[in-house]
């Protein structure tokens, strides 16, 4: 497999996907067209608008982008595609749409065959075993929470450390992930913004500038350095 | 109906339920025993521990607390109860358990008959039409997101204003609720900590010290004063 699962598409103060540019040139080496999956619709943006946004970045590195919504036969479009990018937004909307159109398993099969895959945020969540560690609001009811399982763990994108100054009793991210571990025995990778997971064949590492926080059942959470194998 | 749906159980720096004490004396007037619904299990706490926590507050106001998990026939326990309290925690866990044990509709019927009901956080979410505006992580998959609909809108507990200083690209609460409104046409009450919804018969008001932020489809979000009818 040849995969990047990124915490976020955009660093604070940066341009869309800019911080990943060199990585993406390598990920998509030899490929001049990819299929974009716009179903997460951040802020309710239209599929066309979202595809145009992805396109405006990818034209800088010589890659044409086609939105998956543009095809009548979407399964065939995935089978014919050379590579994929799933954008962020609402994970519930993304997973609902992929399951209802029977595309989750088609996408999984194509990525497992070695076609390059980039996910950001919600698009990274669907690379995990299931979507039970998303941060998103459950604005729609998906027929299942199961995802592609391109990596043998779950991802928590936009991982955010507790803010000791916040006078608020909502749960911290760490509390939420620990609640997940009371109900599930599965490793969770708390991916801070600026970090990404890189899978090349069977090698899976975490990359980027920040430490990454790992949560496992009945263990104290711990931090790993960029470059560490997962 | 006779209901309080509170944003939080505990104010920053305060004791469990203390800020609601006078309200709760009125809500449960004439009642010496309530059934506590501990299924949201904050932080994975046991049902017994959670019930003991609720009990230690309610004994100060002369009310005995029985945990719903203590009964073999839970539907009968709800039918025989004089009043209810559903504590906070994880809304997915709470809703899953209530649906799987066929208790959501039994609880709804009993509250609609006029028995007093207090919900905090997740316990307030289930008073709304559905749980699609919870902040919680989807750590388990409920058979449905539908809730009791004790009020004709949805609630977002622990409503938190955007923090302009945060250098983070995760969605703000307002962005999430606006995403909900792209997929659903239902009023959302953004309930800041310290505020609660009070329903007495057909009158529904918002109470507490803070303004409350209201979100409706195709409208600019707006603020209402404590005491305003909903």
pLDDT in tens, B126-153: 999 999 999 999 999 999 999 999 999 9
| Contact in structure between B98 and B104 (CB atoms under 8 Å) | yes
Q: Which of B158, B161, B168, B218 is catalytic?
A: B158
Partners of residue A41 in chain B, C-beta under 8 Å: 179, 182
Which of A12, A133, A139 has the CB atom closest to B179's CB atom?
A139
| Contact in structure between A222 and A196 (CB atoms under 8 Å) | no
The C-alpha angle with vertex B45 and arms to B39 and B47, in degrees rounded to 5, equals 45
Other CB atoms within 10 Å distance of the CB of residue A114: 11
The CA distance from A38 to A165, in Å, is 37
Strand positions, DSSP E, B42-179: 64-67, 84-86, 117-120, 154-159
| Contact in structure between B223 and B198 (CB atoms under 8 Å) | no
pLDDT at B80 over 80: yes
pLDDT, position A171: 80
Residue A142 sits at φ, ψ, to 5 deg, of -75, 150
Which of B12, B133, B169 has the CB atom closest to A169's CB atom?
B12
pLDDT at B170 over 80: no
pLDDT, position A44: 86
The arithmetic mean of pLDDT across residues B74-98, rounded, is: 98
pLDDT, position B163: 79
Domains of chain A: 2-160+188-211 (3.40.50.880)
pLDDT, position A168: 72
pLDDT digits (tens, 9 = 90+) for B14-53: 999 999 999 999 999 999 999 999 999 988 899 999 999 9
Most A CBs within 10 Å, among B100, B130, B158, B169, to test the A interface? B169
Residue B199 sits at φ, ψ, to 5 deg, of -115, 120
pLDDT, position B33: 98
Share of chain B above pLDDT 70, in %: 100
Most B CBs within 10 Å, among A43, A126, A138, to test the B interface? A138
Whether A185 contacts chain B with CB within 8 A: no
pLDDT, position B167: 73
pLDDT, position B183: 96
Asked whether the ipTM of the predicted complex exceeds the cut of 0.85, the reply is yes
Partners of residue B193 in chain A, C-beta under 8 Å: 168-169
Whether B202 is catalytic is: no
Strand positions, DSSP E, chain B: 2-6, 33-37, 64-67, 84-86, 117-120, 154-159, 188-192, 196-200, 203-207, 212-215, 222-224
Interface of A with B in 26-45 (CB under 8 A): 41-44
8 Å CB contact of B135 and A137: yes
| Contact in structure between B210 and B192 (CB atoms under 8 Å) | yes
Q: Which of A105, A158, A161, A202 is catalytic?
A: A158
C-alpha closest to that of A157 among A181, A173, A178, A170: A173
Whether B136 is catalytic is: yes
Classify the C-alpha dihedral A124-A130-A135-A139 as positive or negative.
positive
Q: Is B149 helix (H, G, I), strand (E, B) or coil?
A: coil
Residue A148 sits at φ, ψ, to 5 deg, of -80, -25
Partners of residue B138 in chain A, C-beta under 8 Å: 92, 131-132, 134, 138, 145
| Contact in structure between B147 and B95 (CB atoms under 8 Å) | yes
8 Å CB contact of A9 and B169: yes
Q: Is B115 helix (H, G, I), strand (E, B) or coil?
A: coil
Classify the C-alpha dihedral B184-B186-B190-B194 as positive or negative.
negative
Number of H helices and E strands in chain B, helices first, is 7, 11
| pLDDT beneath 50, residues of chain A | none
| Contact in structure between A122 and A50 (CB atoms under 8 Å) | no
Which of B44, B141, B180 has the CB atom closest to A145's CB atom?
B141
């Amino acid at each position: 497999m040849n995969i990047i699962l990124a915490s976020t598409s955009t660093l604070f103060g940066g341009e869309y996907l800019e911080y990943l540019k060199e990585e993406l040139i390598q990920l998509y080496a030899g490929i001049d067209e990819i299929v974009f999956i716009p179903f997460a619709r951040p802020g309710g943006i239209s599929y066309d608008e979202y595809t145009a946004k992805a396109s405006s970045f990818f034209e800088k590195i010589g890659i044409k982008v086609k939105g998956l919504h543009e095809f009548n036969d979407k399964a065939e479009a995935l089978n014919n595609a050379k590579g994929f990018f799933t954008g962020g937004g609402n994970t519930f909307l993304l997973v609902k749409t992929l399951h209802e159109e029977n595309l989750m398993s088609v996408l999984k099969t194509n990525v497992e065959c070695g076609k390059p895959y980039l996910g950001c945020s919600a698009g990274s969540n669907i690379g995990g075993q299931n979507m039970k560690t998303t941060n998103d609001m459950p604005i729609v009811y998906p027929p299942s929470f199961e995802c592609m399982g391109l990596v043998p763990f779950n991802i928590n994108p936009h991982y955010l450390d507790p803010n000791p100054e916040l006078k608020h009793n909502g749960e911290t991210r760490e509390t939420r992930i620990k609640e997940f571990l009371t109900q599930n025995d599965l490793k969770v990778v708390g991916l801070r913004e600026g970090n990404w997971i890189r899978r090349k064949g069977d090698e899976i590492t975490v990359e980027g500038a920040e430490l990454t926080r790992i949560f496992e059942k009945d263990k104290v959470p711990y931090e790993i350095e960029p470059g560490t194998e997962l």
